[in-house]
Amino acid sequence: MPTTDKPLAGLRIVEVSSFVASPLAGLTLSQLGADVTRVDPIGGAADVHRWPVTADGESIYWTGLNKGKHSRTVDLRSEEGQETVRRLVTAPGEGGGILLTNQAGRSWMSHESLAALRPDVITVEILGRTDGTPGVDYTVNAGLGFPMITGPVDHAGVVNHVLPAWDIACGLYAALAISSAVRRRERTGVGARISLPLEDTALSIASTLGYLTEPQVTGHGREGTGNAVYGTFGTDVATSDGGRFMLVALTPRHFRDLVELTGVADAVAAVETALDADFRSEADRFTHRAVLTALIEPWFARHTSAEATAALTSSSVLWEQYRSFSDVVDSGVLSSNPMFAELDQPGIGRFLAAGHPASFDGEHYFTGPASELGADNER
């Protein structure tokens, strides 16, 4: 829960939301010290039982995104419930007057209706599509282009990424937008009406990274490269005992070490001459990635994962062995990382939970567990 030494201590935020982007924004603000109250309809919003769940049906997903928040439940369809939300948002006092929501189109909690009660109110409304129509991460991503270049190069269909990247980016943008609006309000006394479509988040990032600029400038879009890293040399290889490693050689030194490690320096030099290439160049390493991969793969196929790990550790090559989520937990990395601390979550149990990934003066900020639905109705 909030403490006075955290960066956003003193802020009071009312969150009317569900699923990923909006709850993640509220969680991020809570980790940084804001007092966040999530308001749900009686019985919970559509995400209250979302998978993964425990054997007893408690949502691991819901509690994970709502750690450190107070929980209010009201009848959002009734005038009394709507008035409760308006009163929570517009209550007088410094640091309050902030609404975070992805429940678009509700006139009773629109910026205009809340500003009539508190002129300096800050509202952040997360939308699906730019035109205000509904959209979620998977539908936004489908219309953007990434599934067309994800997956094996010989796969004729589309492949969805399992990480809700646009939800995550949108949630973090929303937290940044609130922090920025508060800073402006402190200087000017003026509130803010902030609209943040999930689709615009995706379009903005795709534009910034060149995916949307490339077809405008060159006349062609990005092609899929499978597990190869676009524009440089990076590939995955298999070891003799079935392990799999991701290798990335961003710099000439990385590539030189990889060539020496695998004992193919003479072969690589011969290929370089035959192709009139310069493998000090990222572009040439990428262009001829297939033949370079074929040269290094046999070394890994002859060695175990332990032998590959030892050799790669002593080199400058960027690498990691592929692991499952269970492998990560079993490795002990959570207990050795100061970003994790034990959390006792009612309904779920005790487990190591992450705090805010940024450390402030060496300290990671944590929240308490998620409140049970409606636990703070009387507060």
Total residue length of the chain = 379
The continuous run of DSSP H or E covering 74 comes out as strand 70-74
Given 35, 40, 137, 167, which residue is catalytic? 167
The type of residue at 184 is: R
* Spatial distance between the Cα atoms of 37 and 29, rounded to a whole number of angstroms: 11
CA 360 to chain centre: 20
Q: Is 167 a catalytic residue?
A: yes
Coil vs helix vs strand at 36: strand
The angle at the Cα of 312, spanning 310 to 314, to the nearest 5 degrees, equals 75
CB 127 within 8 A of CB 105: no
CA dihedral defined by 316, 322, 325, 330, rounded to 10 degrees?
-70
Alpha carbon distance, N-terminus to C-terminus of the chain:
14
147: Cβ contacts below 8 Å, ≥ 6 apart: 141, 158, 159, 160, 161
CB 336 within 8 A of CB 34: no
The token pair at 197 is 């479509």
Give the phi and the psi of residue 152 in degrees, each rounded to 5.
Answer: -60, 145
Whole-angstrom Cα Rg for the chain: 25
Residue 127 β-bridge partners: 197
Q: Annotate 90-103 with b (16+ C-beta within 10 A) or e (fewer).
A: beeeebbbbbbbbb
Catalytic residue annotation: 167
